[in-house]
Chain A
Amino acid sequence: MNEIYEILENIFPYTWIEYDFMKNALIAVLIITPLFGILGTMIVNNRLAFFSEALGHSALTGIAIGVILGIFDTNLSMIIFAIIFALFLNKIRRKKAIATDTIISVFSSFSSAIGLVILSRGGNFSKYSSLLVGDILSITNLEILYLVIIFIVTLTFWCLCFNKLHAISVNEALARSKNIHVNLIDNIFVILIAFIVMFSIKWVGILIINALLILPAASSRNLASNMREYHLFSVLISLFSGILGLILSYYNNTATGPTIVIIASIFFFITLGISGKVK
């Protein structure tokens, strides 16, 4: 860890990097924002924005369940609940007979309300309010290790299965006729989203996590004309917003997550303007 710290100090010779918590935060940003950029591409393509939003909200319920069951590490209950919730929502989403957005919305509000009710028992909610906005400066070495593992798993999945995932998003029946395991790949994808959302929620915050997943990919769509450009721009925009947001939030003493979202949003509007001129 110390070696990485040294490298960071050499790359960024500024005062803000002198604190260990800032170094940790920077490492977290460098790992997680590219992931947001990559996953976002298919979340936008598959019109899953609603879905990932609901998933973010389910974090409250997961924690609440952990509190009730008396589990020491509420992260565990949060992740397990999120995975079950993700698979469940995905099943509903694939049943095309029902108006999906409405149903997802209902379950999302229901589960977050349950979470809020349980967590606010006895007026104790302030203990959990940091979850709403997140706090990147609190990230620990162990959590960074988790992020690295997720990073590797996601990239592996993406390299091995991206084509199949893309094929499924275009047309399921066609994908199935090419012997692609539609349900399996799709479920792995939503489980991955669940993992990443849950691991980043603590420092990004429930309120805005979805923005970080959607905005880079949405901006990239305005510029890209094929899958390679789509991913490249999305990752770059995400990474750049992340780093700049972290630094700005340090100097202005603001919450980091929202600062990143503001920068990513500005990117979106700029790219929208550019695409309007080009196309």
Chain B
Amino acid sequence: MEKTKFSRGQKTLVQAKITPALACGLHCIKIIDYGVKIGTTTILHNVNLHIHCGKLTAIIGRNGAGKSTLMKAILEELPHEGRIEFKNMKSQRSEKLRIGYVPQNINIAKNTPTSVYDLFASFISNSPVFLFKKKRLYRIVKEQLKMFEASDLIDKSVCDLSGGELQRVLLSIAAMPIPNLLLLDEPISGVDRNGMELFYTTIDHLKKNYDLAVLLVSHDLDYVAKYADHVVLLDGTIIKEGTQKEVYESEEFKKVFGNVLLMNS
């Protein structure tokens, strides 16, 4: 079962390491006319967004602006209007979009006997983790974790991981196989400064070396300023987008955030 999973032309990070497919910038993901209504309340309307591979697009906005809702709509967790288009600009052909997702948190209570291997294998393989530890799979998982500086964690209990460690593990799960679009939902809660720095440099590395686009929901304007290629200010719909500078200096930005002081800019 597991064999077919990997051989379906899906490039794993491990395999990709040998022949890195550099970000070509030729794939374009278009979010067209997205809208979400819950009951009679409109949460999002007329969201149109182009996301290019090899770029980190950050979504910012006040609480309740619909950032997480947009994520959920892209993941098809919520009923929504509009559609997503994924095109190879060179051949002008539409392809099937593969989405990787790093959730905000996971449902693992203290004392849960789940090791990182168990967690990882559950998402990428069908060989039952409650019966045996498959050697080949164990190696693949370890290799993949290594890319995210997390290979030491493989036998640790998931509930004992620090916020930063857990984020790296989740990121490595989301990146296997390499998705076309990587969604990161506020990945920095409960993570210390070093962990955050490591997290962002890893994403930077990912987007530069592999053919994928990153869409990030963030509260941390400093990190957005430092790492994002494209910034989207959301408030029910996109009210401003552009480079970090264009957005941060706009009237709309000041209206939402006031005059914030940024540490890095």
A residues sitting closer than 8 Å to B (CB atoms) are 41, 45, 47, 158-160, 162-164, 166-167, 169-178, 220-222, 224-231
Contact = CB atoms under 8 A, between A and B. Distances in A.
B126 interface: yes
A230 B107 CA distance: 17
Nearest to B76: A176
Contacts of A41: 130
B124 interface: yes
Given A173-B103, A174-B103, A178-B124, A162 B129 contact: yes
The 10 closest A-B pairs by CB, nearest first: A224-B113, A177-B101, A226-B115, A230-B113, A166-B122, A163-B122, A231-B130, A227-B118, A167-B122, A162-B128
A227 B75 contact: no
Contacts of B105: 171
B165 to A, nearest CB: 16
Interface in B91-125: 99-101, 103, 105-109, 111-115, 117-119, 121-125
A123 B206 CA distance: 72
B132 interface: yes
B151 interface: no
B263 interface: no
Nearest to B126: A163
Nearest to A229: B113
Nearest to B170: A174
B119 A170 contact: yes
Contacts of B111: 221-222
Given A169-B107, A170-B119, A173-B72, A226 B126 contact: no
Given A159-B128, A164-B122, A178-B123, A226 B75 contact: no
Interface of B: 72, 75-77, 99-101, 103, 105-109, 111-115, 117-119, 121-133, 155, 157, 170, 173-174, 183
26 contacts: A41-B130, A158-B130, A160-B128, A162-B129, A162-B130, A163-B126, A163-B129, A166-B129, A170-B106, A170-B107, A170-B114, A170-B122, A171-B106, A171-B107, A176-B77, A177-B99, A177-B101, A221-B111, A225-B157, A226-B118, A227-B113, A227-B129, A227-B130, A228-B130, A228-B131, A228-B132
Contact of A228 (B75, B133, B173): B133
Q: Interface majority SS on A: helix, strand, loop or mixed?
A: helix
A270 B127 CA distance: 33
A170 B76 contact: no
B96 to A, nearest CB: 11
Contact of A226 (B108, B113, B123, B125): B113
Given A163-B128, A227-B115, A230-B130, A174 B107 contact: no
A9 B112 CA distance: 40
A163 B130 CA distance: 8
Contacts of B129: 162-163, 166, 227-228
B130 A174 contact: no
Nearest to A175: B123
Contacts of B157: 225-226
Contacts of A45: 112
A152 to B, nearest CB: 16
A170 B108 contact: yes
Q: Could you say which of B103, B113, B173, B183 has the most chain A C-beta atoms within 10 Å of its C-beta?
A: B113
B71 to A, nearest CB: 9
A222 B111 CA distance: 7
Given A158-B130, A171-B107, A226 B101 contact: no
